[in-house]
Amino acid sequence: MSLSKYCNASQLKTPAKAHQLCIVHLWLLSEVEIQRELLNFEENLGCQWSVKMRKLLKDAMELKRNMTCEDYLNPPKQVTDIRDRLDELLEVDYSKFHKKEKAFIKRLIKYRDCILTFLAYDFVPPHNNGSESAIRNIKVKTKVSGQFRNAKGKGAGQYAKIRSVVDTSIKNGQDVYTALLNLAKS
């Protein structure tokens, strides 16, 4: 399994102040839904490193929920502690680990700077659920109808524009019908 599951390589190459890996893919919010890789390492390989990493990610997400706007300007000691714990976990001698664990840790080391970005910026979530939700409708439409077709061969583009307006309206708490009327008038 590669980190491409967690992020698109082009996303990390996009000019931005900072990037964030989707923590939910590394550790899901509920104890029952823990990320498969870490749980697999823990259960099938007896990896105590995975237990510590899951705990670190859980603590980081809990800290994020409790941070105030001022905490981003003057980070509390807990942020530094979590970053130090991550550094310690990624400096482990993994030479005797299972090959899948080694590969996983190497990928985390490669993307180390993208793991805890959400603790540095107020509006950066620890997950990409919003992005995944936004493309879900298009994937369902493609699977149900097979393709986007119309007489001019521009069905996909037209659908994407309309869906974009609908999703943006919903996200901004605006009336979808009014937004579509405004689109039709323009």
Sign, CA torsion 111/115/118/120: negative
Choose the final residue of a domain: 119, 149, 165: 119
Residue with tokens 């890789």: 37
Choose the final residue of a domain: 119, 145, 174: 119
Buried/exposed code over 105-117 (b: 16+ C-beta within 10 A; e: otherwise)? bebbeeeeebbbb
Q: What is the pLDDT of residue 19?
A: 63
Choose the final residue of a domain: 77, 92, 119: 119
Average pLDDT over residues 123-142: 66
Residue 88 lies in a domain: yes
Residue 150 lies in a domain: yes
Residue 124 lies in a domain: no
- Identity at 24, one-letter amino acid code: V
**CB of 71 closer than 8 Å to CB of 138:** no
Residue ranges making up the domain that contains 154: 129-185
Whole-structure pTM value: 0.58
Categorize the per-residue pLDDT at 32 as very low, low, confident or very high, splitting at 50, 70 and 90: very low
95 with 154, same domain? no
